[in-house]
Amino acid sequence: MYIGFKDEILLKQAPNCFYFYFGKQSYSFSTEINETAFQIIKLLNGQFTINEIIENLSIRYNEPSKAVREKVLNFINSIAALIDYSEHRLKNKVINSGSNEYYTPHFAIIELTHNCPLRCKHCFLNAGLGETADFNKLKTVIQKMIKFGIVNIQLTGGEPFVYSEIEEIIDMLIAAKISISITTSGFVFNPKVKRIIDKLVDKKTLIQVSLDGLKNTHDEIRQVKGTYKKVLEFIKYCVEKKLTVAIATTIIDQEYEEVFQLSKILRDIGVRQHRIGSIIELGRSKENNIKTVNVEKIVSNLKKELETETFIVQTQENINPCKECNCGSGFKIIKMSPNFDINPCIISDTIIGNLNIDDWQEIFKRNSNVFSSLKRPFRDSICIDCDKKEQCNNCMAQGVAQYQNTGECAWYEKYYKPAILSFDKDLYYERA
């Protein structure tokens, strides 16, 4: 009997590790696997019988067939729900990507446009009227992203729902089994947006909506009256459709009691996550002299008072404060702007390539190993004496922003700047 997978699965190589992605509607599940499991899965392509797989691996590892048989059968039994058998060869449903020499990202954040109907006081992009991604170029780029192992794509802006071809992009991602997340103000809520939301039902989708306070506070921050009411309508519609909804609240100077009341409202209408974050001092927040505040105490109190099994309160980035390792910026995670600049993450200004002139593979061949070994600003070591450590909160993009704003940052000088300049001083730069 020939053996293979019922649905398409993705195998991805990275330096010193392997990943296995699977799921019916999308690559909803993933796990890190060892080299033996990687080789077994590669052979579960519908073209071999179990005996042929065992013989192949016995030769590869120079082990007795009996020992190999036991390992192979145990592994196949562990993923039995995914496996198909036939007397005839099956269609190959194993997709291979990645490289053992350099990292390629799992997660891409795509800024479809910098246009936005709102003028939020703290927007680090200064979004409003801005660039919009060329649709035909964007389709080609997304196809290449998928080919090289992107399994999760976040669509953002500006406001992603003002991008005229967003529905076509979402159709493309659904067909490719990509897990989709959308970050939105919730302000654009029309029949087309409802149709898009309906398409995402039963898909692995996260909708993150920005909501910074109750009616007066939110409308004042967003600088458009009626925003709060429209956003709540959007949130309730997504919840009714049983999509996973997360709310992002940026703390500027709101009183704790207001944030508490907002969080309680969100919990009661069925929101799954409330993400509390601080601003990054770039763009409009810098122009308006809005400063970063530490949100850990707010998050801690909300967790104690409001969290349930179905409602989670967390920081927006949810960075583990106990590790100096990179969060994934620049090698597991990338952001692409409407002009096809590639940045290490959504709030980083560092440009590591541009897909109008650079090949996707070449960008990561030349820089992913630099970012994978780059330490982030850790407040209990190099940043211990810095009065900005609570604002940075171990985030590299915040560290870069602090350096841009003040010209001083021990982490930037010791780790970040030497790492990027030692690689290619003309390639990496921060926007003025």
pLDDT in tens, 165-221: 999 999 999 999 999 999 999 999 999 999 999 999 988 899 999 999 999 999 999
d(CA 393, CA 228): 29
pLDDT at 371: 85
pLDDT at 236: 97
pLDDT at 423: 55
Segments of the chain with pLDDT less than 70: 317-325, 379-380, 391, 393, 422-432
pLDDT at 231: 97
pLDDT at 325: 62
* Domain 107-315 class in CATH: alpha beta
pLDDT at 315: 86
pLDDT at 159: 96
pLDDT at 65: 94
pLDDT at 431: 42
Whether pTM exceeds 0.85: yes
